[in-house]
Each structure stands twice: as structure tokens, then as C-alpha cells.
Amino acid sequence: MDEFMKAAMAEAKQGKKEGGIPIGSVLVKNGKILGQGHNKRVQDDDPVTHAEIDCLRNAGRVGSYKNTTLYSTLMPCYLCAGAVVQFGIKKVIVGESRTFPGAKEFMVSHGVEVIDLNLDECEQMMSEFIAANPQLWHEDIGK
């Protein structure tokens, strides 16, 4: 696992520690983290503060997103994939998509390179969370 996915994992673990959903994200450009965040939907009582959105907010205005890469511990949903496409982020590296397939095809259809690392550590963290909190998880994904 590279340093950027490790940073995303640290964000996910922080979210879990805060009583939230364990998903983390970082935005990288030229080998430097511009922003990082985690899902704060529960903590902030805000349905749109997903990890990727929190990460982008924390990065602030970066001007051009050309040559940026978004890392996420889980395949982005359509909300977050829409932000990726809107801002012109061309590469997304994902920890896993087994627990949630997300919007990979949507991103790919808009020219985004999506790399799924299929990491057991990410999958285990989400599987454990979903098993322990099915109602909260289903609320987050709109079921």
C-alpha cells in the first residue's frame, strides 16, 4: 500500500473513531497531498459530507485539477464521482469496490482512469462496519 492510500486509510480510521462511516480520501498532485478528508455524514449531520467531498473541501481552491489523483478507500458513489468529473480529476485510485461497486462506469465513461487496488484491509474495514451498522450504511447509500 502506497503512502497516499495509507493516508486515506488513516482518514477512514479517524472517521470510525469519531463514530462515523470509515471511508477516507486524499487528493494528490505532483507527489504532494493537497487535501484529505473522511466521511463526516454522521458527525456533521450532513448527508453530503462524504469522504471525497470532505477531501475536496479541505483542499480548497486548487485552480486546475489537471494532473491530480484522488485516492479513496472505497469506490466513489455517484455524488462523489460527479465531483470527480465536474472538477476534471482524471485519475482515481480506490482501495476496494467489493462492499460497494459505486460509480466506476460513470467515471470511466467520462474519461477518468479508475484503478481498483482490491485491498483486503479496506474491504475488511467496510465489511465489519456494514455488518455492525447496516441501517446507518443503507441510509448513507440511499437504500
Residue 30 C-alpha cell reads as 505532483
SS3 75: coil
Altogether, the residues listed in the chain come to a count of 143
Among candidate residues 52, 96, 113, 123, the one labeled active-site is 52
SS3 80: helix
Q: Which residues have a Cβ under 8 Å from the Cβ of 62 and sit 6 or more positions away?
A: 27, 29, 34, 35, 68
Determine whether 18 is an active site residue. Answer: no
Residue 47 C-alpha cell reads as 448527508
Q: What is the DSSP letter of 47?
A: T
Query: Which positions are annotated as active-site residues?
Result: 52
